[in-house]
Amino acid sequence: MSRTKVAKGKRLLGHMDIDTREWSDGILTMVAREVIKDTSVHTWIVFDGDIDPEWIEALNSVLDDNRLLTMPSGERIQFGSNVNFLFETDSLEFASPATVSRMGMIYISEEDISAKEVVAKWVKTLTEEHPSLPDWIEQHFQRCYEWCLAAGLTNGVGKVAALQNGLSHLRESRSSQHFLVNLFRGLSSVIDSEKKRDFATIVFQGVPLPDMENPELVYFDSRTDSLMRYQDDLGVGVKLEDMKRGTKPFILTASAQSNRDTTSSALGRVLRPKDRPQLILYLKGLNLPAPDKYGTNEMLAFLTQLLTYQGYYDEHLDWIGLENIQITASMAPSVTHSSIPPRLVSQMRMLAIGYPSEQNLNAIYSAYLMPILEVN
């Protein structure tokens, strides 16, 4: 079901209209009515997200031996032994002892997750179009990943997120050299900029490069199937014109006043982009919206739901699925702004970009100023 802090309050538990005394179901009560119809079917109701007293305390009678959900309307829903509840969260800071004592706990640490097992599972998803990828991964991936862990990941990036980031670049590798470039691109994006040259030396060890002094500036030229060196004047610029043809970005800029409702209204009920193959949703200033008093940022919780489940429940409790929508976000590090939840980080592919050097700044501003100066 949907994340709890996205569908909290009346949207989760239901509500009664004060004027008409008419009851409207929430997501939980809607699901509850379905699961109690057939007691022969074993059902798990999953609450995915942060826990706080404003909604979890209403479930205490459901979690004890009574297994009874009492709604504000006075109606009661009795759950049978065929219905179980699962709460998936990364913190119990705001859960009361009365709630915690009613449940069994399973704690899964990053240390319990084997990188080799994650990689092996990913390899099983490959098709016959990638016959050499398993061998290249066995030769290079683990040693490079372990080097990144030893060197230190960028703040906010966990081990599993870094692992998934590295794997996400490898599927389209056409040769061993192309694989190494993609491996460097995937893993170097989660380490600090000043460490990338040393990391490039590790990745490309034993490989002849066009510029051995600057291995981090190597890229794979698909036209010649060879390694090439980036031009100095390109710097770290990204050409947005290289995006897929026909793609028009929809830009949504976050602010300290942004919340889940305004984001939801912007998205509306669109299932897929209209008149174009793909929609790019760009969120600028991802760490700007302020969290609530329980430390949850509702807009980021909503974003996590979109990335995890590819959809959301609307105000009529209809599930709205999203297709062909790419979510891209940016943020600048700041001690005054909120941090990004680790569960959201694990769903995104990261790229850490350091501050530009003097050489890069000269190249950037020259590109902007030269056309103006030439005209004048």
Q: How far is CA 247 from the centre of its chain?
A: 22
Residue by residue, pLDDT tens for the chain (376 residues) are: 555 666 656 788 888 888 888 888 888 889 999 999 988 999 999 998 888 888 888 888 898 888 999 887 888 999 999 999 999 988 888 888 888 888 888 888 877 888 888 898 888 888 777 788 889 999 999 999 999 999 888 877 888 888 989 999 998 888 999 999 999 999 998 888 889 899 999 999 988 888 888 888 888 888 888 888 876 444 334 344 444 444 455 554 555 555 544 455 555 476 788 777 888 888 888 888 888 888 888 888 889 999 988 888 888 888 888 888 888 888 887 655 667 888 888 888 888 777 777 887 888 888 888 888 876 5
Task: Name the nearest CA neighbour of 220 among 245, 196, 241, 203.
Answer: 203
φ, ψ dihedrals at 47, nearest 5° = -105, 110
pLDDT in tens, 263-311: 555 554 767 887 778 888 888 888 888 888 888 888 888 899 999 888 8
The domains found in the chain, sorted by start residue, are 3-101 (3.40.50.300), 115-229 (no CATH), 241-347 (3.40.50.300)
φ, ψ dihedrals at 87, nearest 5° = -110, 120
What is the sign, positive or negative, of the torsion defined by CA atoms of 42, 47, 51, 57?
negative
Tokens of 188: 């170097």
Q: Which residues lie closer than 8 Å to 5 by C-beta, 6 or more apart?
A: 49, 50, 52, 296, 298, 301
Residue showing tokens 């190249």? 363
pTM recorded for the entire structure: 0.75
DSSP three-state, residue 101: coil
pLDDT in tens, 168-182: 999 888 899 999 999
